A and B are shown apart, each in its own frame.
Chain A
Amino acid sequence: MCSWITEKTGIVAHGKGVSEWISLRTANVYYDHPASAPLDHALIIDFLNETEGPGARVAVELSAESARALVRAIEAALAAGEQCHESTSRTHTKERKTETADERR
């Protein structure tokens, strides 16, 4: 089942989007001078699809503190989400087995 488990964190960042959903194949991660965020250095993530040209790029530039907060949020969301989905999956499997046993009877 789907859940509403969400980790929320405040960030200092700039982002660059595209108008439509695009497939992304590479994430380049680096800490350097940003193009847009008003920071000396930023943790920059370029999500790219190099086969679609340089404009196929979703980019974020985060302060170092925001980037660390994001890492924690990602880890927390994965841990909580995976645990929730695992237990839901076990319940489903158990329910399916019970149904099969009932059908046999």
Chain B
Amino acid sequence: MYEGMIAETITISGHGGDAIEAYFARPLGSVGLPGVVVFHHMPGWDEWSKEVTRKLAFHGYAALCPHLFSRHGPGRWDDLAAAARAAGGVSDAQVMGDAKGAMDYLRNQPYASGRVGVIGFCSGGRQAYMAACTLPGLDAAVDCWGGRVVARPEELNERQPRAVIDMTPDMACSLLGIFGNDDGNPDVEQVNRIEAELTKHGKTYEFHRYDGAGHGFFAVDRPGYRPEQAVDGWKKVLSFFERYLRTD
């Protein structure tokens, strides 16, 4: 455990060189730290997303959560989420550019080990899966109940032009998936399809599916929180990162 840490909002260079906000937490006085980029969930860059970032720092990672709706600011995180929705949402290309900026920031710190993973929740889970398929140099990815990895043609548009499941052949790092069996998005059938695609293409992955849990069951401030499943799920996440981000 790393009980001493620094946590703050910083500015990083995101997609297209845009200056965006990011919440950054890291253990104090440690070197050789792996990094983790945190994709916040759809409601926005909220308090819980920052708690997740600090939790990762507590476990020895330099964690960085870029504010994906930052360009609509300045303003409150929930107003900026509403503004992003009013504008039609953020594009996949922009999100991946912001994630690349966050990865570069983490790798460039003097205390960095050079290894970097990603974790995402809800829409961020889909983005973590996409990062595993599109961002070179990623060492591990965790998809927590990412919705619309499996997408119908009518769900695709200019901002999200490609179904993420179709990117699976390009996945270049190990993947951990955490899902609730009561979730409607992704539902059990969709998770089965994703797993079949990963198997078909010989990817390294592990999925954990929890009974009695639905969407967002790690989020302690939401009614879907399921403590027993969440505690076990976090163990799986930390064990996975330990395996892929700390080993040489």
Task: Report Cα–Cα, A54/B74, bound state, in Å.
Answer: 8
**Would you give the 0/1 interface string for A24-48, flagging 1 where the beta carbon is closer than 8 Å to chain B?**
0010101011111011100000101
Would you call A10 an interface residue if the criterion is a C-beta within 8 Å of the partner chain's C-beta atoms?
no
User: B222 interface residue, CB < 8 Å from A?
Assistant: yes
Are A35 and B214 neighbours in the complex by a CB distance under 8 Å? no
Residue in A35, A38, A53 whose CB lies within 8 Å of B43: A35
Q: Which residues of B contact A28 (CB under 8 A)?
A: 82, 85-86
Whole-angstrom distance from the CB of A61 to the nearest CB of chain B?
A: 10
Q: Within the complex, which residue of A30, A38, A39, A54 is in contact with B80, where a contact is CB–CB below 8 Å? A: A54
* B216 engages A40 (CB within 8 Å): yes
Chain B residues 35 to 84 lying within 8 A of chain A, measured CB to CB, are 41-44, 46, 72-73, 75-76, 78-83
A16 proximal to B (CB < 8 A): yes
A36 to B46, CA, bound (A): 10
How big is chain B's contact interface, by range?
20 to 34
A35 contacts B44, CB within 8 Å? yes
Interface SS majority for chain B:
loop
A55-B72 Cα distance, complex, nearest whole Å: 11
A50: chain B residues at CB < 8 Å are: 83, 86
Residue contact B83 to A33, C-beta cutoff 8 Å: no
Complexed CA–CA distance, A32 and B72 (Å): 20
Q: Which residue of B44, B83, B86, B223 is within 8 Å of A39 (Cβ)?
A: B223
B83 contacts A35, CB within 8 Å? Answer: no
B224 close to A (CB within 8 Å): yes
B86 with A53: CB separation less than 8 A: no
Closest 3 CB pairs of A and B: A54-B79, A54-B75, A35-B78
| A interface residues (Cβ-Cβ under 8 A, vs B) | 16, 26, 28, 30, 32-36, 38-40, 46, 48, 50, 53-55, 57, 59
Known: A33-B216, A59-B78. 4 other contacts (CB 8 A): A28-B86, A35-B46, A46-B86, A48-B82
